[in-house]
Structure 1
Amino acid sequence: MNGEKKLKNPVTSFILLTNIIFLPLFILVGVTRMLEFPAWVFDVMLCISAWSSTFAFGVLFKRIYPGQSFIQFAKDRFRYKLKFSVILTVSMIQAFIFLVILFIVSNNSEADSIFTKTSWGMLVYFFFKNLLSGPLGEEIGWRGFAQIELQKKHSPLKASIILGFWWGIWHLPIWFTTGYVGIDLIKYMLFFMISIQSTTIIMTVFYNLNQNLIVPIIIHQFFNFFIGIINGNLIDLIMYNALFYLVVAVLIIVINPKKVLYGKKTQTFLMDNIT
């Protein structure tokens, strides 16, 4: 018999603890930059801070799912076979957005290169650093737990909007390290939140269609990776991403494939994930 009381508001507790853990870790990231530590130390600290949601979920796990194993829970998020059609669709959508933005930037840029990474080695390093510091560190908590938990009480669409907002707010400390002030900061924050909300809806749809955490990890990875390798004004890049991902999200809401956003098709998935 487990002596700990089960949390009444697990998602709220998860979000609060995630932010509590993230802030001091992010401050340490800033300290490594100010003290001019080697670049790899900065990258390691950045990766660790990105795992704050996983750390928070791990701390709360026994009070959310008494008697269950965290390791088994994590494994279960990947137990369903990946659907080629889902992976192909999300890859094509994001590759198309990337190519359109690349075309726009290349026509407006006066820089020598339209890419931020000038060698294959740098590109590969950035790919895996991005994978470790974003998708792998964040998705088990935000999508693997919080999204599914919210879907017990709300439609997947409403759950996406709620989670997208709080996932975006979790990034707030990062916004104030961009160097932007005034109207530029407001633009950055607005476009960032639109991007986050839109991407969350897209993740929800394809995650519920395939029920494997690899799907949102791929979407998250491509979103961060593609925007990180284009050499352009950051606000413009965020704006383009916000616009195109919003268009995709709206189209998906209208189409509502297999009624995964506001139908009853996810009920079996939810029951599978809480047992």
Structure 2
Amino acid sequence: MSREKKLKKPVASFILLTNIIFLPLFCLVGAIKILGFPTWFFDVARCISAWSSTFAFAILFKKIYPGQSFIHFVKNKFKTKLKFSVILSVSTIQAFIFILILFLVLNNSEVDSIFTISSWGMLFYYFLKNLLSGPLGEELGWRGFAQVELQKKHSPLKTSIIIGFWWGMWHLPIWFTTGFMGMDLIKYILFFMISIVSTTIVMAAFYNLNQTLIIPIIIHQFFNFFIGLINGNLIDLIMYNAIFYLVVAVLIIIINPKKVLYGKKATTIIKGKHYMI
């Protein structure tokens, strides 16, 4: 296939198509909610809408990577062996943030129960639902493609800020279904965007340290899962998340382990994998 048939701006095309696909799916989810369909039906529809980025990437794949196999591309994203040190670091950081937020809510809340889940069965269902509706549906497109593709032109840190911003903006329709108005809505959006951009920086650092898509999937899953477990004021929860993930992101930027975010050693991509040169 000739080079002329390749997309000139693949990341921009991906972001645009992701939003085009997501909007009608989001409206469908809203209609299902309003019409009173069963909860499981609503959950399935919401999971499908969360896969809009994967649908967009699959549709554009042949124009982005002519002659390559989509299935082979996906397999390569999970090919690298997981590093115990990376998994331990990610799990420890996010568990610590969860405990800190839990402590803050306990000291500032008067709710009867600090947790939103009351049984092990519901906990498992909630974990699985979050995994399907967020991490598995979003990470192939946003991290597996967009992050890696944009790192060909920019440093991982700059790329993370760009992708984090547009990933956050993709959630824009959801902001207006929270019920918040005025200053509360502004606070929610501000804290949400800080959380998203900060988390994207954390994802990029650990993804470049251990080049498997499982890493951002785990980070994304813990981010969603932990905040959903706590029974508290949503704006407060988002604010706590924004503060703590921003602190972690800043520390990682300062430490810049193995120069994975910026520096003299640049990240290059060879056959879909990252190498430090």
* TM bracket (short chain): over 0.9
Check conservation: 1:167, 1:196, Cα contact below 8 A. yes
Equivalences for residues 183-262 of structure 1 within 5 A? 183-262=183-262
* Cα 1:129/1:261, change in 2 over 3 Å: same
Which residue matches 1:33?
33
Q: Point out the more displaced range, 157-166 or 106-115.
A: 106-115
Q: TM-score, normalised by structure 2?
A: 0.97
Identity %: 78
CA distance in 2: counterparts of 1:144 and 1:18, whole angstroms: 14
Residue-by-residue CA offset, 1:212-257 (whole Å, 9 max, x unaligned): 0000000000000000010000000000000000000000000000
Check conservation: 1:117, 1:123, Cα contact below 8 A. yes
Check conservation: 2:135, 2:220, Cα contact below 8 A. yes
SS in 1 for 2:271: helix
Which residue matches 2:167?
167
Measured after TM superposition, the shift of residue 121 of structure 1 is 0.7
SS in 2 for 1:37: coil
Which residue identity lines up with residue 208 of structure 2 in the other structure? Answer: N
Check conservation: 1:53, 1:137, Cα contact below 8 A. yes
* Cα 1:3/1:143, change in 2 over 3 Å: closer
Measured after TM superposition, the shift of residue 264 of structure 1 is 5.1
Measured after TM superposition, the shift of residue 263 of structure 1 is 2.7
Residue 272 (1) aligns with residue 267 (2): no
Measured after TM superposition, the shift of residue 274 of structure 1 is 7.0
Which residue identity lines up with residue 129 of structure 2 in the other structure? Answer: K
Check conservation: 2:207, 2:216, Cα contact below 8 A. yes
May I ask how many residue pairs the two structures share in their alignment? 274
* Cα 1:264/1:140, change in 2 over 3 Å: farther
Superposition misfits of 4+ residues, deviation over 6 angstroms:
none
Which residue matches 1:115?
115
Check conservation: 1:2, 1:67, Cα contact below 8 A. no
Residue ranges of structure 1 left out of the alignment (5+ in a row): none
Which residue identity lines up with residue 200 of structure 1 in the other structure? Answer: T
Which residue matches 2:103?
103
Check conservation: 1:194, 1:242, Cα contact below 8 A. yes
Check conservation: 1:18, 1:55, Cα contact below 8 A. yes
SS in 1 for 2:216: helix
Equivalences for residues 9-24 of structure 1 within 5 A? 9-24=9-24
CA distance in 2: counterparts of 1:249 and 1:196, whole angstroms: 11
Which residue matches 2:150?
150
* Cα 1:241/1:3, change in 2 over 3 Å: closer
Which residue matches 1:5?
5
CA distance in 2: counterparts of 1:9 and 1:264, whole angstroms: 26
Alignment RMSD (CA, Å): 1.3
Which residue identity lines up with residue 249 of structure 1 in the other structure? Answer: A
Measured after TM superposition, the shift of residue 154 of structure 1 is 0.2
Which residue matches 2:74?
74
CA distance in 2: counterparts of 1:114 and 1:272, whole angstroms: 47
Check conservation: 1:208, 1:266, Cα contact below 8 A. no
CA distance in 1: counterparts of 2:43 and 2:60, whole angstroms: 27
Check conservation: 1:195, 1:242, Cα contact below 8 A. yes
Q: TM-score, normalised by structure 1?
A: 0.97
Which residue matches 1:91?
91
